[in-house]
Structure 1
Amino acid sequence: MVEMVQSEANAEFTVEGRRVIVVGAARSGLAAAELLAARGADVVVTDICTTVNQDLGRWSKRVTFELGEHRNQTFLSADLVVLSPGVSPEQSAVRTARESGIPVIGELELASRWLSGRVVAVTGTKGKSTTSLLAGRLLDAAGFSTLVGGNVGPALSAQVAQSTPDVIHVVETSSFQLELTEQFHPWIAVVLNVSPDHLDRHGTLERYTNAKAKILANQGDADWLVVNADDPQVLAMVDGSDARRLPFALDTSIPDGITLVDDVIARRMPSGSVPLVPRSAVQLIGRHLLQDVLAAVAIGVIVGATPEAMTRAVAAFEGLEHTLEPVRRIGGVQFINDSKATNLAAARHAIESLGPGLVPIVGGRFKGGDWRVLQDGLVQRAKALVAIGEARPQIVEVLGGSVPVHEADSLAEAVRMGFTLAAPRGTVLLAPACASFDMFQDYAERGRCFKEEVERLAGSVTEIGEQ
């Protein structure tokens, strides 16, 4: 087992008696407000929505809510502003506070200052949730006290009360969370991949990558860095880090790291290879998800999980809802839900993970990038493509010359259209490559709607067959 670096809560950071504005009244913001109130702060939660899904009467008298707008005078009265990940630092009232010298931090940064346990932070354009949850399962199976949270599961602020020195926090971290960190210090930082995403917020790939790179900012030579050696953008991003490295790779030959050796996930070293997990234990579809498994195994190796424990955890892990999730087969047509593929890179990997006869459903609110990255996979595998949402005109314009593109006005219509196009034996894949906010509350609602429409279609096909 590798020697662990003890995390220490920041004893100097206190909010007792201070006025703190929390921006955003969703999961992360509410957890931050509760944490701050417990630490003695007077908290104002502000949100542009006029209602929140909360019984406001249950809250401490230390917490008040201002809904419907962000008021400059409220922000200017603050000692500290804490931002939920979904709120841009360039929001007008936030910018006013910052320009007036009021500290502005993110919810991740806030919570991390009070953690006593060690932090394993996972970032990347895609695969964060799969890697984080699987790593948590690996460490649990190996007997470590583990909490998984951050961008997946509970907000990190909700886990501070459980953070003792023996706890390992596996924290999924997005670019939105990382861009407002200052002291965030993971013992193990994991960088899975980097490709254009969230350009609607960050503006450029450089700014997006810089936000991701903040996961490394406070690491030293006692810390660890798990990196994807197959991704040149990742290697460029981590160049210059002082942390010890344990890379993983499927395509690149690495002298010391986690890779496949004779169909076994192993640690290859100059002195030889140590088998860890049989490839046959992996239940997930797709080469990109196998990379996530390698990253989780790398975490397990550093922490000290045994091969037996890791194999049990990997074999029991069937993946996440909305991530290449098999829904059902209707006749000869298979339906797969990858609603979590909210960017081009994730959609490309989903398309390239499946065989010929594919009909992807693509579209939504586009976050930026070049649609042409999908062309090769579509030409090789797709019978047709169904375009939905705000991005339909772009999809038709850019991809219409590569594959027949059909437009649908709703997800229900897209499911029916996909079934017709994929018949008699093909696959309908929901891989939107876009955010969901033009049609749905989030990617999860989109995925659930897709599955409901598939079930509805199955019922109608059965009824027709019985007539």
Structure 2
Amino acid sequence: MLIKNQRVLVVGLGISGIPTVEALLKLGAKVTVNDKKNKEACEDILKDLDGRKIEFILGKHPNDLMPFDLIILSPGVPTDLPFIQKARDMNITIMGELELAYQLCSGKFIAITGTNGKTTTTALTGEIFKNAGKETYVVGNIGVAAISKAQEASKDGIMVTETSSFQLESTIDFKPKIAAVLNLTPDHLNRHKTMENYIDAKANIFKNQEDADVLILNADDEKTYALKEFAKADIVSFSRKKVLEKGAYVLDNQIVVKKEHKGYEIICRVDDIKMPGKHNLENALAAVAIAYWASIDKKVIADTLKMFMGVAHRIEFVDEIEGIRYINDSKGTNPDASIKAVEAMKTPIVLIAGGMDKGSNFEEFIHVFNGKVRHMVLIGETAQKIKKTAAENGFYACSIVENMEGAIAICSKIAKKGDAVLLSPACASWDMYPSFEVRGRHFKECVKKLRG
């Protein structure tokens, strides 16, 4: 891909913005950076770009697009903004940071998407490949921009990439050697508008795959498995509930893999997995399928599964104070993710939920409480919406507080010995925090202060 002397507009100064700018400058591009936030709001980020030969358009979007040959969008930038549509009409090439990374990288991509479980599956897959001695880069929506490693990877490099619907929305030629879709439930409908649009964005993960590529699908999830009808790649399934002719599944409490017309091979026992919950068994099955079909030795796969403890902010044990366990599931950014967290708990729960409204329906979330959630403490802009849904479905034990400090204070009074205080918001963090990671860290800080 020719970048030198190209006039490139980078839109959005998020996690991927700075490394995108740095990569473009290194390749000799003439870079303009645009962010809807003004200079004061971007002050800390702009320090990283001090002394660089860059032009800035801050506090607004550009009116004149004639100077630009290429526009790179950060994942958080909606693709239907008027100036982006204008750029399309002018035939200016528009792509996301993931697409740019793909076009500049010599290595192979393994891409993982789905509504929930992406981060855990990506991290686990990355560990398997590293333990197999592969040149491995764990990148994408997991917090490390793919562009930051794209030019570092050799032709033998493996880019194990967590991909969100936002990132996949702006791909062009992106074609992973192995792609996996874990599950599909309503999420980000405030941006995608409809479930169909959301699924279409996710399906971009395999749109360019060919016969020699592999697409891994969850056979237990109807919407996900239906995608096989639109794929050209070799379909490999995983299932927690079914015996498969081909794929990774559970048999007699063991994780097994089976190639077509061959006998199954045992990887390890289900009980060997350290991560709690049925959803994490599904994540493990997906990672097993990815690794096995990438020809990773099954002993390496088994050993990694037995050692892997999960990721931060996903059903993460924080502390036990006066017999009450505090669990950080800030990564529960939609109702389905939080349903899985509630189901994974073995004790009564005092739940902290709420945050930014992504257009989600919380009725199914309330239904799963089923006597397990004793009290719900709500924060953020969805607090009243969730409380109203709870009342309509017969759950009245709710409190609304202003912040995390207030939530921890009331939880510590309500919870009894043997209970778990679970932060699993079922919402995005952006009304109160810049990311779910910051929200999770604040929860942990509040628990630490509670201990004294």
Q: TM-score range by the shorter chain?
A: over 0.9
Gaps of 5+ in 1: 1-12, 460-467
| Partner residue of 1:414 out of 404, 407, 415 | 407
1:463 is matched with none
Q: 1:36 aligns with which of 20, 24, 48?
A: 24
> Are the aligned partners of 1:378 and 1:403 in contact in 2 as well (CA < 8 Å)?
no
Taking structure 1 as reference, are residues 304 and 81 closer, same or farther at Cα in structure 2, changes over 3 Å only?
Answer: same
Residues 347 and 418 of structure 2 are in contact (CA less than 8 Å); yes or no, is this contact kept in structure 1?
Answer: no
Structure 1 counterpart of 2:18, one-letter code:
L
Q: Which residue of 2 aligns with 1:200?
A: 190
Q: Distance in 2 between matches of 1:104 and 1:432?
A: 34
Q: CA deviation at 1:319?
A: 1.1
Offset at residue 405 of structure 1 (A): 1.4
> Matches of residues 324-343 of structure 1 in structure 2 within 5 Å?
324-343=315-334
The question of 1:162 aligning with 2:155 is answered no
Structure 2 counterpart of 1:398, from 385, 389, 393 = 389
| Partner in structure 1 of residue 161 of structure 2 | 171
Asked whether the equivalents of residues 242 and 250 of structure 2 are also in contact (C-alpha less than 8 Å), the reply is no
Query: Of 427, 431, 437, which residue of structure 2 is paired with 1:434?
Result: 427
Distance 2:434 2:147 in 1: 23
Q: Structure 1 residues 57 and 214, CA, compared in 2 at 3 Å: closer, same or farther?
A: closer
1:275 is aligned, of 266, 273, 290, to: 266
1:181 aligns with 2:174: no
| Match runs of 1:216-231 below 5 Å | 216-231=206-221
Q: Residue type matched to 2:370 in 1? A: V
How far is 1:57 from its partner? 5.7
Residue identity in the other structure for 1:416: A
SS in 1 for 2:374: coil
Cα distance in structure 1, aligned partners of 2:251 and 2:112: 25
Cα distance, 1:407 vs structure 2: 1.3
Taking the TM superposition and a 5 Å limit, the aligned residue runs for 1:205-354 are: 205-268=195-258, 271-354=262-345
- CA deviation after TM superposition for structure 1 residue 249, in Å: 0.6
Residue 70 of structure 1 is matched in structure 2 by: 61
1:381 paired with 2:345, answer no
Q: CA deviation at 1:237?
A: 2.4
The share of aligned pairs that are identical, in percent, is 37
Contact map agreement 2:328 2:440 (CA 8 A) in 1: yes
CA contact (8 A) 1:81 1:105 kept: yes
Q: Does residue 447 of structure 2 align to residue 454 of structure 1?
A: yes
Distance 1:286 1:67 in 2: 45
CA contact (8 A) 1:83 1:107 kept: yes
Q: AA paired with 1:193? A: N
> Cα gap change, 1:188/1:59 in structure 2, threshold over 3 Å: closer, same or farther?
farther
Mapping for residues 3-18 of structure 1, pairs under 5 Å: 13-18=1-6
TM value normalised by structure 1: 0.92
Corresponding position: 1:55 with 2:47: yes
Structure 2 match to 1:10: none
1:271 Cα deviation (Å)? 3.9
Amino acid at match of 2:57: E
User: What are the superposed Cα offsets for residues 390-447 of structure 1, whole Å, 9 maximum, x if unpaired?
Assistant: 1111111111223511211211111121222221321111010111111112111110
Distance 2:343 2:91 in 1: 49
Answer yes or no: is the 8 Å Cα contact 1:76–1:96 preserved in 2: no
Q: Aligned AA for 2:338? A: A
The CA distance in 2 between the partners of 1:384 and 1:209, in whole Å, is 34
Matched, 1:100 2:84: no
Checking the alignment, whether the CA contact within 8 Å between 2:15 and 2:143 is kept in structure 1 is no
Give the structure 2 partner of residue 26 of structure 1: 14
Residue 66 of structure 1 deviates from its aligned partner by 2.8
Residues 271-303 of structure 1, C-alpha deviation per residue, up to 9 Å, x if partnerless? 432011232331111110111111111111011
Amino acid paired to 1:210: D
In the superposition, relative to structure 1, how do residues 140 and 57 fare at CA in structure 2: closer, same or farther (>3 Å)? closer
Q: For residue 45 of structure 1, what is the aligned residue in structure 2?
A: 33
Residue 345 of structure 1 aligns with an amino acid whose one-letter code is D
One-letter code aligned to 1:124: G
Q: Equivalent residue for 1:462?
A: none
Shift of 1:452: 0.9
Q: Counterparts of 1:233 and 1:372 in 2: how far apart (Å)?
A: 20
Q: TM-score, normalised by structure 2?
A: 0.95
Query: What amino acid does structure 1 have at the position aligned with 2:355?
Result: G
Q: Distance in 2 between matches of 1:415 and 1:287?
A: 27
What letter matches 1:18 in structure 2? Q
1:340 match: secondary structure: coil
Q: Once the two structures are superposed, what CA deviation does each residue of 1:247-282 show, in whole Å capped at 9, x if it has no partner?
A: 111012322211122222111455432011232331
Residue-by-residue CA offset, 1:107-128 (whole Å, 9 max, x unaligned): 1111111221111000000111
Pair 1:315–1:71, CA change in 2 (3 A):
same
